[in-house]
């Protein structure tokens, strides 16, 4: 199994649904970075030294991001959720239900997480698992004293994202949206800053770097979220839905998961890429379902490159198009497949109903197959 596979099986999924204990861990970051400059910012954009309050100049030293924090703090949101208990289940249900392996005591049916302001209309982005099955959602925006009711506009378990809405007229101050950056330009070693409410401790900031790119992580519906950013910035239960920022204070990811054996930070956290979020936010704002293309195969990495078909689901598009177990997929619609994850990435970029060409190696022969993609089921089989 490759490193991505090991991490995927090790990921403890879905923070922020509930907290059963508070563990305080001392973290020292002194000397982690030298002077940042323009190239330290995600994307390596050049800077003319005239950063504005919205875009910001790159942090000079990621061990001191006080100016950045003051600039973005009022765009970060604490999310408090009251969940509707299932009358057929014992009381509780939360974090331990979402972590692999045995859990601790079941918490009360209420949890918390984080989010951030998208615009001055009152739209807020968070994780789907933070607000799943919520009966009531309230938020505290920035340094506000009280909680404000929020409406869940749309949720998408396939990307683990949700959009909330508050009425700006209910707020004492104007909204302060965060600037969205681009995750595709992130590089390993770029500074990464996480802000959220770990263990309910609102307005908490941690720093680190982008540790790895393109990690596959598991969505709440058991499909794969491709392209996640891995960071060593401390992320803990309650950080879910909060922003992962670059050195200019632009959002490049949405903190979502950790790999852990203790249900707390171990220096391996994962953020959903903001570029994926940009694709689904319009649907979530409108409360419409996010549609995704579906092929209907399970694949593994082939030793000679490509994706080896391990399963073809009966009646699904791949079978209808002639894909067979044992085929080695080498291209999808003209794009080379180097590993198994590439198939998911390339199919997800399409729409249901699209017809694609899949080239497979079958024994000593090469076959070109035409497949009409279907609608992805609500959950992975």
Cα–Cα distance, 70 to 244 (Å, whole number): 16
Residue at which a domain ends, from 139, 170, 201: 170
Cα–Cα distance, 149 to 145 (Å, whole number): 13
Under a CB-based contact definition with an 8 Å cutoff, are residues 358 and 322 in contact? no
pLDDT > 70: percent of the chain: 76
Please give the span between the terminal C-alpha atoms of the chain, in angstroms, as a whole number. Answer: 22
Cα–Cα distance, 185 to 42 (Å, whole number): 6
**CATH code of residue 146:** 2.40.10.10
Cα–Cα distance, 44 to 59 (Å, whole number): 13
Q: Tell the burial category of 320 from Cβ atoms under 10 Å away from its Cβ (0-12, 13-18, 19+).
A: middle
12, 240, 264, 340: the catalytic one is 240
Residue 300, in any domain of the structure = yes
Same domain, 299 and 346: yes
Same domain, 65 and 182: yes
Predicted pLDDT of residue 267: 87
Is the CA virtual torsion 40, 41, 46, 51 positive or negative?
A: negative
Residue 99, in any domain of the structure = yes
Active site residue 129: yes
Cα–Cα distance, 77 to 240 (Å, whole number): 11
Query: For residue 372, what are the β-bridge partners?
Result: 355
Residue at which a domain ends, from 148, 170, 192: 170
What's CA 12's distance to the chain center, in Å?
13
112, 129, 316, 340: the catalytic one is 129
Task: Specify the number of domains making up the chain.
Answer: 3
Residue 144, in any domain of the structure = yes
Under a CB-based contact definition with an 8 Å cutoff, are residues 61 and 33 in contact? yes
For the chain, list residues with pLDDT below 50: 1-55, 60, 84-109
Strands 307-312 and 123-126: unpaired
Residue 196, in any domain of the structure = yes
Active site residue 226: no
In tens, the pLDDT along 112-158 reads: 999 999 999 999 999 999 999 898 999 999 999 899 999 999 999 99
The pTM assigned to this predicted structure is 0.77
Residues in the chain, total: 381
Residue 24, in any domain of the structure = no
Q: Which domain holds residue 367?
A: 293-375
Same domain, 210 and 142: no
Predicted pLDDT of residue 202: 95
Contacts with 169 (C-beta within 8 Å, 6 or more apart), sequence order: none
Residue 278, in any domain of the structure = no
160, 232, 246, 316: the catalytic one is 160
Predicted pLDDT of residue 130: 96
């Amino acid at each position: 199994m490759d490193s991505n596979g090991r991490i995927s099986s090790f990921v403890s999924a879905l923070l922020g649904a509930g907290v059963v204990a508070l563990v305080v861990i001392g973290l020292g970051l002194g000397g982690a970075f030298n002077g940042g400059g323009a190239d330290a910012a995600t994307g390596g954009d050049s800077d003319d030294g005239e950063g504005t309050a919205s875009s910001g100049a790159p942090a000079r030293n990621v061990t001191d991001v006080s100016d950045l924090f003051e600039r973005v703090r009022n765009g970060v949101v604490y999310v408090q959720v009251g969940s509707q208990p299932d009358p057929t289940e014992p009381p509780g249900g939360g974090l331990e239900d979402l972590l692999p392996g045995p859990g601790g005591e079941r918490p009360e049916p209420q949890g918390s997480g984080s989010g951030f302001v998208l615009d001055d209309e009152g739209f807020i982005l968070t994780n789907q698992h933070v607000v799943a099955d919520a009966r009531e959602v309230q938020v505290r925006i920035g340094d506000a004293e009280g909680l404000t009711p929020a409406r869940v506009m749309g949720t998408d378990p396939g990307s683990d994202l949700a959009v909330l809405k508050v009425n700006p007229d209910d707020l004492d101050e104007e909204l302060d949206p965060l600037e969205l950056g681009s995750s595709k330009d992130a590089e390993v070693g770029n500074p990464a800053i996480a802000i959220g409410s770990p263990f309910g401790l609102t307005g908490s900031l941690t720093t680190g770097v982008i540790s790895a790119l393109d990690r596959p992580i598991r969505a709440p519906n058991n499909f794969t979220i491709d392209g996640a950013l891995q960071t060593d910035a401390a992320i803990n239960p309650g950080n879910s839905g909060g922003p992962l920022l670059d050195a200019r204070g632009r959002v490049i990811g949405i903190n979502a998961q950790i790999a852990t054996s203790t249900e707390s930070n171990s220096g391996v956290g994962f953020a959903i890429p903001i570029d994926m979020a940009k694709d689904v936010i319009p649907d979530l704002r409108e409360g419409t379902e996010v549609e995704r293309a579906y092929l209907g195969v399970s694949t593994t990495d082939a030793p000679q490159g490509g994706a080896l078909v391990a399963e073809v689901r009966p009646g699904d598009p791949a079978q209808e198009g002639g894909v067979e177990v044992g085929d080695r997929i080498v291209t999808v619609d003209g794009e080379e497949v180097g590993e198994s994850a590439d198939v998911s990435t390339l199919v997800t970029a399409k729409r249901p109903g699209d017809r694609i060409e899949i080239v497979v190696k079958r024994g000593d022969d090469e076959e070109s197959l035409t497949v009409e993609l279907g609608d992805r089921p609500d959950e992975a089989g």
